[in-house]
Structure 1
Amino acid sequence: MKRIGLLVYAAVAVSCHQNTSTGTTETSATASEPTEEVAVNLDWINGNWKRTNDNKGKQTFESWKKISTTEYAGFSFTLQKGDTISQEQMSLIAPNGKWSLFVKTPDEKRPIEFKLSALRSNEFVFTNDSIDFPKQIQYWTESGKLKAKVSNKDMEISFEFEKIQ
């Protein structure tokens, strides 16, 4: 029962996220030019996702919703024995035409900002070199699955999600 309640909580949290963006210009980028301005569609990240490569005894869920053309809201949580052991709120925003990824856990007062370093039609990479881990967050789609990787030069954690209804 706790799992269903947490899924509902995640959906409500994402739904209730308010639009804070002020601009409507979108950004596209390649590894060499992360601020080139053209229309971007990140809708491939939308939906409710369940991790398929989780550690035994854990279940991780992630939910993303498009708020506007320049903002997506995400929420992630991990369950172990029916209890929530971790959670994160995420926002992809481009208020001034430049995309940033903000990640916040309940322990943090303010979200951590990651700047766009690469953007393709089905992939994005954000970087923050001022923290130890992760320095880089990457999401992409492959064969209908959502994949993600958090890393620094010494460590890498890979995530694979399948869409759930």
Structure 2
Amino acid sequence: MKSILKISFVLLTAFSLTMCNTKQNDQKSTTQPTKNFDWLLGNWKSTNEEKGKETFENWKKINDAEYKGIGFTLQNNDTLSQEQMKLIQTNGKWNLLVKTPDEKDFIKFEMTEIADDKFECKNDTLDFPKLIKYWKNGDKMNAIVSGDSLKLSFEFERIK
């Protein structure tokens, strides 16, 4: 049961198509403000999902300091997993917040790197995921959700 919950959380978090980017060296990285995450906006469908499943993410802009997203996976029109996501800027720093129906509160991922078309977030206190990364790839979007021994990759295309 724990494994199923972890996998569900992983899938949901990956769809958070979280927005962070960590430097790959020993130096402490700094977060720099970005103008916006408007490249995330809209409805997205995963193109590399397991056969029989469909994964979606939908993002909208609330204001210049907040974006909201929802991610979910369907199988035979039944919802297998779901998560709420928020990108929030507070005191000049961006964070990704993720919540599944099983959690009471949002889990915070600190944004460790930001660019115009990518971001990376971390939370080292978790077993999985520790890292959530999103980036724009032409007219598509990619995401990676990873922990110590597991790494999930997602490829999304915009849908209407």
TM-score normalized by structure 1? 0.78
* 2:144 alignment partner AA: K
Question: 1:157 is matched with which residue?
Answer: 152
Deviations 1:27-65 (A, max 9, x none): x987354234x4422100000001100001000110000
Q: Percent identity?
A: 52
AA at the equivalent of 2:50 = N
1:47 equivalent to 2:22? Answer no
Shift of 1:96: 1.4
Post-superposition CA distance 1:75-127 (Å, at most 9, x none): 01110011001000000000211000000000000010000111111100000
Count of matched residue positions in the alignment of Structure 1 and Structure 2: 137
Runs of 4+ in 1 over 2 A off after TM superposition: 28-36
Structure 2: 5+ residue runs without aligned partners? 1-19
What is the aligned partner in structure 1 of residue 64 from structure 2?
69
Q: Distance in 1 between matches of 2:94 and 2:139?
A: 24
Which secondary structure does the structure 1 equivalent of 2:126 belong to?
Answer: coil
Structure 2 equivalent of residue 34 of structure 1: 30
What is the correspondence of 1:88-103 to structure 2 with a 5 Å cutoff?
88-103=83-98
Counterpart for residue 146 of structure 1: 141
Superposition RMSD in Å: 1.7
Larger Rg: 1
Q: Which of 1 and 2 has higher RCO (CA within 8 Å, sep 6+)?
A: 2
Alignment-mate amino acid for residue 123 of structure 2: N
Unaligned runs of 5+ in 1: 1-27
